Amino acid sequence: MGAVSEQTPRSRRKRMTGKERREQLLDIGRELFAERGFDGTSVEEIAARAGVSKPVVYEHFGGKEGVYAVVVDREMQYLLGMVSDALVADQAKDKLEGAALALLRYVEEHSQGFRILARDSHAASGTGSFASLISDIATQVEHELAAEFRSRGYDPKLAPLYAQSLVGMVALTGQWWLEVRRPKREVVAAHLVNLAWNGLSKLDPKPRLESSARTRGPE
């Protein structure tokens, strides 16, 4: 009776399809970019964690720049989609609450992606920076604000300014909350909306600086 050869774990391992390998490399790339940033990550590390040779990474993405570009683009599109979905409510305050919660939910559930985006996307991504992402979100919000401004008798041309301010406030708070993780997401969102809405509900249509602040020069 012939001896039965034992298969090694490597020989029993299912070979990945091209699509599966690509997704694996993207997952590993996301982890490394979140940990170390673009400059601190190498093709060698991506390949080593995946258990493949460097040429495999080059074959799929052309280098770490290609991995990074896809990771950043996916994260930006995912976040933009979450915020867009939150702006379907009928009432202005509900839209604001939904957008704040969506961004904070993204921070909580996609921490790696947010760390990559908040680190300010590297030029290799070809998709812009964190500032440009915030600007993209603000552009969506400004249309909602413009309609609200018209209904309240405010100048809708100022909607872009207020949209940038509101989205920037939530995004910067999200960066802080990413590290402290308290209070809970819903509590943070409630306080952000409290600040924004109670301020917006009593806007001065034509705000002016006090004369002393306007004329005082640098000390």
| Confidence at residue 88, expressed as pLDDT on a 0 to 100 scale | 87
H or E segment at 177?
Answer: helix 159-180
By CB atoms closer than 10 A (0-12, 13-18, 19+), residue 31 is middle
Q: How confident is the model at residue 5 (pLDDT cuts 50, 70, 90)?
A: very low
pLDDT of residue 128: 59
Q: What is the pLDDT of residues 121-130, one digit of tens each?
A: 555 555 557 8
Question: Closest by alpha carbon to 100, among 52, 48, 166?
Answer: 166
Domains, in order of start, for the chain: 71-201 (1.10.357.10)
Asked if 113 contacts 106 with a C-beta cutoff of 8 angstroms, the reply is yes
Note whether 168 and 134 are within 8 A (CB). yes
Residues 28-37, mean pLDDT to the nearest whole number: 96
**Tell me: the pLDDT tens digits for 141-188?**
898 889 888 988 889 999 999 999 999 999 999 999 999 999 999 999
Distance from the Cα of residue 84 to its chain's centroid: 13
Q: Is the pLDDT reported for residue 216 higher than 60?
A: no
pLDDT digits (tens, 9 = 90+) for 73-114: 999 999 999 999 998 888 888 999 999 999 999 999 999 999
| ∠ CA 116-120-121, rounded to 5° | 70
Asked whether residue 214 carries a pLDDT value surpassing 90, the answer given is no
Structure pTM?
Answer: 0.80
At residue 60, the 3 state secondary structure works out as helix
